[in-house]
Amino acid sequence: MLEARNITKEYGHIVALSDLSLSIPDGTIVGLIGPNGSGKTTFIDLVTGFSKPSQGELFFKGERIGGRRPHEISRLGIGRTFQETRVFKKMTLLENMLVASPTLERSESIERARDQLKWVGLSGLEDRQASALSYGQQKLLEFVRTLMSDPTFVLLDEPTAGISPFLTQRMLESFRALRDKGKTLVIIEHNMDVISCVCERAVVLQHGQKIAEGSPAEIQRNSTVQDAYLGGG
């Protein structure tokens, strides 16, 4: 589904990613973990066109996407959320959803938006301003707004950070449901319980480099990962 070949991203003298190569198989949930500043969000920014690689190539379904603009990449079937929620707080939930589906007929858009909001337990709140939602509910809104364009590949930047265990469980159920529908997900997380619960594979970054890759169980047993990220053996 996605392949990164020797990706490097430099900001002046700062190297955010260094010679990173990895592949994301179709129909899987892959966790991307590592300490703060390890390059996780930089990777998502490169994949979604918010930043351009300094070196290397990115391919989506065999098509080169490195350096393309965000709207061009979105039209290929790639969606994302952000580490800090970016909902339109002075707009209603329904309006937030409709912004993400400008190419659909209005009646079809409204029906799809209502279905998505109901799917994550936000039914009945369609006419409420997004500013009235809790932080966790805003995360849910941003998540389902991303799905309005029906992407096949979804990148989620710390989707469960700062939200209640109840809403976290709702998120995890949604991730599994998307995978069962054939979607591919990449999840940035610091919560290893989340990674272990929903991910088939995990990739660990440190200082912009990949230091480990494998199943969540293998990652947790890896001594290099333990020393770099999980607090030692």
pLDDT (tens place) for every residue of the chain, 233 residues total:
899 999 999 998 889 999 999 999 999 999 998 888 888 999 999 999 999 999 999 999 999 998 889 999 999 999 999 888 889 999 999 999 998 886 667 788 888 899 989 988 888 889 999 999 988 889 899 999 999 988 999 999 998 888 888 888 888 988 999 999 999 999 998 888 888 889 999 999 988 899 989 998 888 888 888 777 666 55
Query: What phi and psi, each to the nearest 5 degrees, are found at residue 16?
Result: -80, -35
Residue type, 145: R
Query: Please, is 187 exposed, middle or buried when counting C-beta atoms within 10 Å of its C-beta (0-12, 13-18, 19+)?
Result: buried
In the β-sheet with 153-157, what is the strand arrangement from edge to edge?
Answer: 78-80, 153-157, 184-188, 29-33, 201-206, 209-214
Among 103, 101, 124, 102, which Cα is nearest to 113's? 101
CA–CA–CA angle 156, 102, 49 (5° rounding): 40
